[in-house]
Structure 1
Amino acid sequence: MSGMLHIGHGLSRGEKRDVTIDCDTVVVGSGAGGAVVATHLAEAGERVVILEEGPHLPTLDHGALRQSESLRHVWSDAGMTLAWGLGGGPSINVTTGRAIGGSSILTGGVCFRIPDHVLDGWSNELGLTELSPKGMESYFDTVERDVHVEEVPESMRSRGTRLFGEGAAMHGAKLKPMRRNTRGCDGCGRCNFGCPHGAKMSVDVSYLPRAIAAGAVIWSDCAVKSVKMDGRRAVGVEARLLDGPRGRARSRLSVRSKRVVLAAGAMHTPRLLRRSGIDRGLPALGKNLTLHPSFRVMARFDEPVRSWEGSLQSAYVDHYEKDEGILFNSLSIPNGVLAATMPGFGKRYWSRAREVAHLAIFGGMIHDDAGGRVFNGPLGHPILTYDMSRRDKARIPRLLRLMGEFFFAAGAREVVLPVFGSAPVDADGLRNFPLEKVPGSKIECSSQHPLGSCQMGSSRDHSVVDQNGKVWGTDNLHVACGSIMPTSLGVNPQLAIMSMATRIAFKLREQKLS
């Protein structure tokens, strides 16, 4: 269905002229937050314009691109954004999407509701009384219907995932079926590079066709530079239309609107607010960034486990999430990428790379404290820092040991830890490995879940938006993306972002535009 999207540019390729348009609501960003808000407002009769910095790639184009080409076309900074580690913690590779559909086209489709204990904390401790489990239930229900959330059958689990589950069960932890936004998934494993079949119900497939059918207009290749303000009132945005693979600005786009909704993600929304001069009196802007620091462990078995078969993410273990803040997710990595990350050189490397079919892989992530910050860097790029808390640093060796122990319990011969320069270890090697003493700079760490840099809260002294997503001290300026999360979630955030955006959209529909 994404091929049915009709993206309005107003200019032919290479044409250079400034453009001014009028609308009721302009939405900056077309991902899990922006697409949802835009759809509901358009279906309520508003004139909606959606601006997206990245390109539009129809479904069939994803299948035609090599993985390296997907990185260049739809991943922000080709997947090379880094949150610089401070205080002895690891630096973290942060991946987000930059295309029509945002990061939703790059996810594994995982859909978790926000855990009740997290919502209880927001409601009882942060004063966000409407965000209780009961208050959010109808929004979860709405999104799950809209994107067709379904349970992944056991038949879609790779042998490697099943073995990890067997090892976890020997430690009293249960492997549970993942829930994903899919319809007719055939397990091709290309989720992180854009689904080539339209089976993943990312927002370019599920929401944006509805928005366009209701009259919304989408502009791709459009970089928003600032929000236009008239006193405390948002009255539009200034943007640049980009041309060519290098994204050079060719024309100016000025949007005059009655409302502005920012949904540019946790890295770019605070940057836009600062560039627009809206950071005064908002001490929390760009702070409270959480990342769900994630780590992978590989294991070699005597038998072939063919971990690339089945669903990219088919199962999880949440036994340790509530008490220890650790969640394990199944995953797979394309063989070429996986082989390139194997340790060793020469013949030793080649002997391991040839055994890709015998490698199982699983991921673990931390329900982290808010240790990150987003700064405005040169050339329009954000700069991220991350000062991992002492509690989170202590969780890393615990997480890695558990994953290794699960694999060894299931019969693995050796495991590969995410420690730069380390060789594979056997069971005795894992027990004796000094994980607690490994410097953060030696640990491979990644994130696909930047959240919280425009935190929602009950006071402008400690947050950026109120519980309806309105930026403190402004009128008709709202935020509806992962940046508004009050705290880390401890689970994959796609469904959470869509549900929070649905709630904000419903609140906006109740307001009279003027």
Structure 2
Amino acid sequence: MFAEPTSILEGRDHPGDLTADVDVAIVGSGAAGSVAAKILAEAGMSVLVLEEGGYVTPERYAKFRPTETMRNMFRDAGSTAAIGLGDTPLISILAGRTVGGSSTLTGGVIFRIPESILSSWVRDHGLVDYAPELMEEAYRSVEQETYVETVTDDMRSRSTTLFGEGAQKLGYSLKPMRRNTKGCRGSSRCNFGCPHRAKMSVDVTYLAKARSLGAMVISDCKVTRLVIEGERITGVEGRLLGAEGEKRGKVRVHARKVLIAGSALSTPLLLKGAGVGRWTRSVGRNLTLHPGFRVAALFDQDVSPWKGALQSAYSDAFEDQGLTLNSVFAPVNVLAAMFPGVGPDFQRYTSQMRQLATFGAMVHDDGGGQVWRMPGGRSVITYRMSKRDKLRMLKGIRLLAETFFAAGAREVLLPLFGVRPMKDADELRFLDDPSFPARRFECMTFHPLGTARMGLDPSTSVVKPDGETHDVRGLYVIDGSVFPSSIGVNSQLPIMAVATKLAWGIREATSSARACA
């Protein structure tokens, strides 16, 4: 198929058009696409992975500055956002656009889907194959493949340790994170590509194995059309992209099966463009985000928050209130964006960076988002925050701030536009006012889910429990789009485990069909 003796073809360097004929075409090389590529290549199928982003080797991204990573590996250079409707903030959505997808840019945090959530999927959506006990094998498979380990206490940053001391004084505690790492050195750079290849993201695990098994990858390849004949998918079409995103050669792929794994932001655009699910109002709807935020605190001691694992501890003490607390860090130039003032006032905070501690939280949201397909195939993302989620955010901000004050902080910076730094816990009482405008929240997310939900009813869902769309045979959605609800935890393992189950099902169905032929 390719003249190049490599399993990755970089579209930006290819001079002409491309055609291919494969068993399986996978759109997207992130957490879901790479998992499926490895499983199906292992089963002897010819697999082609099409990735819109570029191919950045671990050796290259290890040397990137944060701004270089954002420009080369993030969707929209890190500027993707959900527009708030009504009393809702603008929510920054950080998503990967690179070979390996967002897994190359996350903190590597590993959580299983809470059993209560899986039980609701069974009860409310008829997804009996996703009962807690039936997810165990998929979880174990992913955790083994990606070297999941528990973060030891000595890998906690001083920032996290201080927060933990404050939590103890307030009557709750932190638990150690599990992360997919192997030999982590505590560089706190996970969100910009691990500089030591210690994070076992899919580019160095699943996708590397898939390539060794014969799977091919085309980077810089934007799929623009699903080719459907009658009620069956027959392939995809797209364009190769240059280094600056300019259109180059055409791509035409004939495939017996097409798996969409472009993320909850991109997948619905392809489906809508092809008219898939036209009788349901679910395509692009039901977007959940897990809105997240962080609070920073200044101490009278050296904290050096960049020393230690990026995310090493969490608290689920407030899980029943829709909040999970997580240790976080960001590079100096990113953190500085939340500092107040200009000139000397701003410089006063940047000069005290060594004394700065941070901790974050995320909301188990009710949803309220939608991905709209605009003319030309571009998207607009909107989100309406529920009143309950707004109150959860106010509570979470106050809780983080109170914990830092209990730990001895002399000043706390809140993620609220137009609010001055707090000097003591008594000043936080304004957060009890439910009328505080949510538009002033500063928040972001790594976890968009749910825009092509799974279910039994074609009028309320896009795909069947096996991932195949209700109306087009051979077309599957295998990424976080299929989640029927918010899950309240980091989504990397959940997406990979669900993709594992779906890929296993596709493998078995294909094997059975071949045996009967």
> Structure 2-normalised TM-score?
0.95
CA distance in 2, matches of 1:30, 1:298: 34
- Determine if the alignment matches structure 1 residue 407 to structure 2 residue 415: no
Residue 129 (structure 1) aligns with: 128
Give the conservation status (yes or no) of the 8 Å contact 1:91–1:440: no
Give the drift of 1:303. 1.2
For the residues of structure 2 that align with 1:142 and 1:343, how far apart are their CA atoms? 46
- Between the two proteins, the alignment pairs up a number of residues equal to 507
Query: Partners of 1:10 and 1:298 in 2: how far apart?
Result: 41
Residue from 428, 431, 449 that aligns with 1:430: 428
Structure 1 CA distance for aligned equivalents of residues 409 and 375 of structure 2: 47
Over the aligned positions, Cα root-mean-square deviation in angstroms equals 1.5
Aligned position for 1:384 = 381
Q: CA 1:11–1:363 in 2, change beyond 3 Å: closer, same or farther?
A: closer
1:74 aligns to what?
Answer: 73
Letter in 2 for 1:440: A
Q: Could you say what secondary structure the match of 1:33 adopts? A: helix
Counterpart Cα distance in 1 of 2:51 and 2:394: 40
Contact 2:155–2:186, Cα closer than 8 Å, also in 1: yes
SS in 2 for 1:393: helix
Tell me the equivalent position of 2:86: 87
Aligned counterpart, 1:239: 238
Rounded Cα–Cα distance in structure 1 between residues aligned with 2:152 and 2:190: 17
Moved more, 213-222 or 347-356: 347-356
Residues of 1 paired with 2:387 and 2:488: CA distance? 17
- What corresponds to 1:330 in structure 2? 327
The unaligned stretches of length 5 or more in structure 2 are none
1:136 and 1:55 mapped to 2: Cα distance?
Answer: 33
Whole-angstrom distance in 2 between the partners of 1:297 and 1:509: 46
Asked if the contact 2:12–2:220 (Cα under 8 Å) also holds between the matched residues in 1, the reply is no
Q: Which amino acid aligns with 1:240?
A: R
Closer, same or farther in 2 for the Cα pair 1:47/1:122, shift >3 Å? same
Cα distance, 1:12 vs structure 2: 8.3
What is the CA–CA distance in structure 1 between the aligned matches of 2:358 and 2:341, rounded to whole Å?
18
Deviation of 1:429 (Å): 1.4
Q: Structure 1 vs Structure 2: percent identity of aligned residues?
A: 47
Q: In the alignment, is residue 372 of structure 1 matched against residue 369 of structure 2? A: yes
SS at match of 2:281: coil
Q: How far did 1:188 drift?
A: 1.1
Equivalent pair of 2:7/2:214 in contact (CA under 8 Å): no
Q: Which runs of 5+ in 1 are unaligned?
A: none
Local SS of the residue matching 1:455: coil
Structure 2 partner of 1:173: 172
Q: Which residue of 2 aligns with 1:485?
A: 483
> What residue number does 1:313 align with?
311
Aligned CA distance change for structure 1 residues 266 and 11 (closer, same or farther; 3 Å): closer
Partner of 1:511: 509
How has the CA–CA distance of structure 1 residues 8 and 346 changed in structure 2, closer, same or farther, with 3 Å as cutoff? closer
Q: Which of 363-372 and 434-443 deviates more?
A: 434-443
Residues 293, 445 of structure 1: 8 Å contact kept: yes
* Residue equivalent to 1:9: 9
- CA offsets 1:25-74 (integer angstroms, 9 cap, x no match): 00000000000011100000000000000011111101222211110100
* 1:458 maps onto 2:456 in alignment: yes
User: By how many angstroms is 1:85 displaced?
Assistant: 0.6
Pair 1:58 & 2:46 matched: no
Paired with 1:358 and 1:435, the residues of 2 have a C-alpha distance of 31
2:121 touches 2:484 (CA, 8 Å); kept in 1? yes
Q: State how far apart, in whole Å, the 2-side matches of 1:406 and 1:274 are.
A: 46
Matched, 1:153 2:142: no
Question: Do 1:14 and 1:243's aligned partners in 2 also have CA atoms closer than 8 Å?
Answer: no
> How do 1:88-237 and structure 2 match up within 5 A?
88-237=87-236
**Residues 188 and 307 in structure 2, CA contact (< 8 A), matched pair in contact too:** yes
Q: TM-score, length-normalised on structure 1?
A: 0.96
> Residue 77 of structure 2: SS of its match in structure 1?
helix
Aligned-residue offset at 1:169: 2.0
Q: C-alpha offsets along residues 229-284 of structure 1, whole Å, 9 cap, x if unaligned?
A: 1111111100111122x111111110001000000000000000111121312321
- How far the C-alpha of 1:6 sits from its partner, in A, is 4.0
For residue 346 of structure 2, the aligned residue among 329, 334, 349 is 349
Quick check: 2:30–2:99 contact (8 Å CA) kept in 1? Answer: yes
Q: Distance in 2 between matches of 1:225 and 1:117?
A: 38
Q: Letter of the 1:230 partner, please give it.
A: E
Contact 1:226/1:239, CA 8 A, preserved across alignment: yes
Alpha carbons 2:395, 2:431 under 8 Å: kept: no
- CA contact 1:7–1:220 (8 Å) conserved in 2: no
